[in-house]
Amino acid sequence: MRHLDELTRELGLDLDAFVVYSSVSGVFMGAGSGSYAAANAYLDGLMANRRAAGLHGLSLAWGLWAQTSGMAANTDDLTRNRMNRRGGLQAMSLTEGMELFDAAVGSRQSLLVPARLDLRGVRADAAAGGGVPHLLRGLVRAGRQAARAADGGDKRRRLTDRLTGLAPAEQEALLLDLVRARAAVVLGHAGPSGVQPDMAFNEVGFDSLTAVELRNRLREATGLKLPATLIFDYPNPLALARYLHRELLPDDGVNGQELDEARLRRALASLPLARFRAAGLMDALVELAALADGAPHTRTTDENSEAEGGDEKRAIAELDVDDLVHLALGD
């Protein structure tokens, strides 16, 4: 195109129009297609240069076409859904495209974007807490940050209240459904069935850009402060759901600790006392039991082994996890 531009200038041709086709990706849909967006932006700049020189020049940054031939031949429904979700673009028919072309040719602008915008969808997404592409913020108002933050706290409380009324397995299932549903929206799927619980996010189509988008949607849904590396730290929906569970209900770990302590008590009670003597722990265990009673310990195993046997069993039964850890470390 640069050569054509230079040739027409050198020949001094009196052109009625100099129109090039570029893409909306060079304007605001370039995420994930850097080189393609840059090439189209070059065409836009070239036409701006011609206009500045007093020459004809118009770049049409086309949006999404509904046709299934040419460059759009490999654009499937999933890709179209993603473009609509990310930039508010809907596919335009051939008739609509030709009408936009006729309207644009007579313009004195160097760059126009003939595209069919889904502003209703962008507004709905903004109302739900989603982002608005910067170029469309003159048409759709983005939600206020302070209002989103306040709403985030309310969402977290509502979600936490809902979870506390469920059994642990039901809590995990609810959060897993939430993760899968948000992931499906980001990928453009019609429902969460396209996102399996144990399949890695990078295997179902996520990249660094969509990872941030999923983080944002989960942040809006849960009210949690989540890192941008969320799906890389927790690489599949099930792992991510369990992380959200720990963040939303951190006190649930107490129940797990109590269960572990109960199992540990049963295991300790089943051990023969000779094992503790062989490990050199008997005197320390009995001393701990005596201190727990508030009385100084005056007996040793050599002085009264039978009476001590009852103390030993009681000491083992009354130990908690912290006492055992300190004892094992020699504190």
221 within 8 A of 130, measured Cβ to Cβ = no
| CA angle in degrees (0–180, nearest 5) for 26-28-32 | 75
Q: Is the model's pLDDT at 10 over the cut of 50?
A: yes
Greater confidence (4 vs 252) lies with 4
Alpha-carbon span 76 to 242, nearest angstrom: 33
Residues 6+ apart with CB under 8 A from 76: none
How far is it, in rounded angstroms, from Cα 157 to Cα 263? 33
Greater model confidence, 112 or 128: 112
pLDDT digits (tens, 9 = 90+) for 29-86: 665 566 888 899 999 999 999 999 999 999 999 988 887 666 555 555 555 555 555 5
Mean pLDDT across 324-329: 51
Q: Which helix (H) or strand (E) holds 117?
A: strand 116-117
Sheet containing 111-112: order of strands: 19-23, 58-62, 111-112
Using one digit for the tens of pLDDT, what is the confidence trace for 299-319? Answer: 544 545 554 555 554 554 455
Is 312 in contact with 276 (CB distance < 8 Å)? yes
Reported pTM: 0.51
3-state secondary structure of 61: strand
Phi, psi torsion values for 59, nearest 5 degrees: -110, 125
Q: Can you read off the two tokens belonging to residue 316?
A: 């083992």
What are the residue ranges of helices labelled H in the chain?
2-11, 34-52, 77-87, 94-105, 119-127, 145-164, 168-187, 208-222, 230-233, 237-248, 252-269, 273-278, 282-292, 305-318, 321-329
Task: Give the 3-state secondary structure of residue 92.
Answer: strand
Q: Which of 94, 117, 126, 98 is nearest to 29 (CA)?
A: 117
* Rounded Cα gap, residues 291 and 314, in angstroms: 12
| pLDDT of residue 146 exceeding 60 | no
Please say if the pLDDT value at position 231 is more than 70: yes
Judge whether 213 and 150 are in contact, CB under 8 Å: no
DSSP 8-class letter at 145 = H
Residue 177 has pLDDT above 70, yes or no: yes
Q: Are 83 and 89 in contact (CB under 8 A)?
A: yes
